[in-house]
Chains A and B, each alone.
Chain A
């Protein structure tokens, strides 16, 4: 399976979306997932940049709540018309809730990647991991926005 953004794909600077949103209150993984922290619970989704690269999300496969995951482990699959991509957990912990709405309506990943289009929530087992994720500034630098 291909990674979330095919490294063989080149997009020209003016067609990348300069306007990709990178909210200031989130942390980011290099593999284009975001994390919103509230106490020891992390909400996880994929970034605006990632959904723009994928376009046309037609299917989201979510894990079962209760599963224990390690950072870097595949936790979901998002499918665009063109390809299937793994979503990796940015943090370790237990999945305490999944977003059924995004499974029912995968287009939410495209229309509301930071809100209704989120994937799941994880209760952190190692809060230090979340602190080590990319800052909005670093992620912005990574995607060249």
Chain B
């Protein structure tokens, strides 16, 4: 089994390494200081297992996982109890609360070995609903990683199985559903006005009637987007008109 440890605290990594000494079948390929190193190492080594901290520089553990196409099995190691602990209770990959004992660690490894199904994806889906995500979105821009504060999002456009995030710096793609963004973006500032559009209400300059039962919204960026009947009702409520 190939493993990678990703944690910004050297002593925390040392701890995992020490516990892993009793598992000769698990080979540690690399230790990473942050999510960026983590992504590179995962792409390079394609590990079976990663030990992942949540609070790390620049991008957190959840955000890092989102940027990996086929994430390996994950054991979270964190001091944050509030993040998605409930989500992990229902899934097989483990969540170790720092400081954790050798017994607890052994249990996590056992669980991992007996459970071959990779349900990391499901965990990410549930975990990424946590508040840690709410004020920014991490996307891949070519080879680079870009962090977009949600306030800079102009609108989100649905397109098949991914979405287009429109910002002043350009359009970015992310493999997520519209439903996901509707849930995770701040309800006050972002409204899903149409099956395919979520808009930043701060940028609205005008709302014009369009064909029967529908409207067109004009954003300060010049974009004209359709508003459905249900979307118009939501807009009216939030804007107080």
The yes or no verdict on A and B being binding partners is no
A: residues with CB less than 8 A from B are none
Chain B: residues with CB nearer than 8 A to chain A? none
